[in-house]
Chain A
Amino acid sequence: MIQVVSRPEWRAREYRREQIFQLVGALIVLFALTTLVVLLTKILLDGFARLNPEFFTSFPSRRASQAGILPALVGSAYLLLLTAAIAIPIGVGAAVYLEEFAKRNWFARVVEINITNLAGVPSVIYGLLGLQVFVRTLQMERSLLAGACTMALLALPVIITAAREGLRTVPKSLRYGSLALGATQWQTVRYTVLPVAMPSILTGVILALSRVVGETAPLLVVGAVVYISKLPDSLFSSFTVLPVQIYNWTTRPQHAFQENAAAGIIVLLALLLTMNALAIYLRNRYQKRLPI
């Protein structure tokens, strides 16, 4: 090696190789950034013209120019709220159990490994699970509730992981202080740990739920419909959501429908952006607030 490097022509070659690699690295990184820019530009160019008020207040239609996303938008909002109502208590509950109550034994390990594996199960499999359990066995039919239950199961592993990370940010001293004063385990969690951990748990939970908003495949399997003539008015109404509507418009051969799809995508991305901004806002506020 020493011999090699000390020869000037070899040293020059090494230097050139270094330069070339730096350039390649920078170009590749640039490629990733460019892809994102191209993707966003393409969608904005395709869909921006369709973003008029009627687009937000109309039902889907056979004519592309009259079709709108009202039921999809309302369906997405209902589905999100319902999923959150089911998944947040259960997810945070499971996280509290694993972090605050469970002993470090084989059982806790099994539960943990299980959650890691659930997070890797393809989403379309959750669709099959929902189809068989909620739609067929529990006879919810192709309803909002069946969709929300399915999405709750899908979101659970992510919510549990996020909530556990939130709970871990609470210093041990707070728990000891509360326990030393005679509070029970649950009182400690309820009045000391959860209030302190809440903002950071919420941040993680919102990020997890933003994945629910963009998820398509399990809802197609569970049976979100595309043509819908009235807004869902109960838990057992049929429903559609934004990504399903976008999927349907994208697969139409007519170009006009693809413009609708692009406009729908803009709305979907705006929604996701809002949720992420909310999560970041909460995170920042929390970082400022904690005095310890």
Chain B
Amino acid sequence: MPNNTPAAEAGVAYSRAVVQVGVSSRNRRRVRIEERVVRAFLLMCALLGVLTTFAIVFILITESLGFFEKVSLKEFLTDTVWTPTFANKSFGVLPLVTGTLLTSLIAMLLAGPVGMLIAVYLSEYASPRVRRIVKPTLEVLAGIPTVVYGYFALTFLTPLLQRFIPGLEGFNALSAGLVMGIMILPTIASLSEDALYAVPNSLRYASLALGATRFQTVWGVVVPAAMSGVSASFLLGVSRAVGETMIVAIAAGQQPNFTFNPLVAVETMTAYIVRITMGDTPHGSLEYRTIFAVGLLLFLITLALNLTSEAIRQRYKGARV
């Protein structure tokens, strides 16, 4: 038997272990106790994740309850003015929701089609050489910190767009949304490509054998077959955009305007949380509690998006096998 088989290696490792712990009955008891202690510790590590989820839900709900004692749920969800820090307070969250929706929508209008096209191109058309260059580049785009994207939106894209769009404010939803689109582009492109790549070749061959062109095969057969994976990636992209903070905090401005005009400043839910926590809002005040109410709403929206995306992906995985 050669000396480097797995079994031999394990044997060497085990004899090292034995040298350390010995095999006397006293030590054997110690080993058993150690085993139990370690097991308990590892279980606790795994449980910390569950605990984190509970803690998030718990603090968001308890602090929000304090808020909803003073402000009715109806006012929160239907009023269109959000001025918790003004003398004349109003607690309608809709401006923050529309701000979030608007920037996310702009991001998806860029990242959706572009990400999809990149995925189709890479999976169905590109040569291996092009793939080798493009995929790591997309990974680099995905690894850039969002504060850097924020800087780029504010100091490059906004001045650039102002040359073509005269009414564009210095802070606006448009350039924040577009840069956010670039940020989520890699997520959508790479997950959609995985879905397209998983479509069995037999489908492509069958379509081509029937006389369809490559274009017809891709858009008539491959893309529909991968649709569930592609839509899961889109939902995940929306979820990222909704939860993204720094780009919008820097480039979209911090004014809760109830508008769908992409040329003016808006404030998203995330940007509002950052603005309030950076100021000196006293702990326990109603203004302080607003960030948890907004946080709860944000958490619920992203959770719904993530769960739907995951459910679609699971079903699609089952259908493949």
One of A122, A133, A187 near B270 (C-beta < 8 A)? A122
Contact mask B10-50 → A, CB, 8 Å, 1/0?
11011011000100000000011011001101111111111
Give bound CA distance, A175 to B306, whole Å: 36
Interface segment, one of B70-78, B84-92, B132-140 = B132-140
Main secondary structure of the interface of A (DSSP, over half): helix
Chain A: number of interface residues, binned into ranges: 35 or more
Determine if B60 and A118 form an interchain contact, defined as CB atoms under 8 angstroms apart.
no
Determine if A171 and B6 form an interchain contact, defined as CB atoms under 8 angstroms apart.
yes
User: B210 at the A/B interface (Cβ < 8 Å)?
Assistant: yes
Determine if A28 and B306 form an interchain contact, defined as CB atoms under 8 angstroms apart.
no
Give bound CA distance, A268 to B122, whole Å: 31
Determine if A124 and B274 form an interchain contact, defined as CB atoms under 8 angstroms apart.
yes
Min CB distance, B265 to chain A, in Å? 13
Give bound CA distance, A91 to B32, whole Å: 24
Q: Using a Cβ cutoff of 8 Å, how many contacts connect chains A and B?
A: 287
User: A85 at the A/B interface (Cβ < 8 Å)?
Assistant: no
Determine if B298 and A217 form an interchain contact, defined as CB atoms under 8 angstroms apart.
no
Determine if B213 and A18 form an interchain contact, defined as CB atoms under 8 angstroms apart.
yes
Chain A residue contacts of B244, Cβ below 8 A: 122
Determine if B215 and A21 form an interchain contact, defined as CB atoms under 8 angstroms apart.
yes
User: A237 at the A/B interface (Cβ < 8 Å)?
Assistant: no
Contact mask A51-85 → B, CB, 8 Å, 1/0?
00000000000000000000000000000000000
Determine if B212 and A1 form an interchain contact, defined as CB atoms under 8 angstroms apart.
yes
Give bound CA distance, A133 to B52, whole Å: 10
Chain B residue contacts of A186, Cβ below 8 A: 34-35, 38-39
One of A32, A122, A183, A262 near B243 (C-beta < 8 A)? A122
Contacts from B to A (Cβ < 8 Å): 4, 6-11, 13-14, 16-17, 21, 31-32, 34-35, 38-39, 41-50, 52-53, 55-56, 59-60, 63, 114, 117-118, 120-122, 125-126, 130, 133-134, 137-138, 140-141, 143-148, 150-152, 154-156, 182, 185, 189, 210-216, 236, 239, 242-246, 249-250, 270, 273-274, 277-278, 283, 291-292, 295, 298-299, 302-303, 305-307, 310
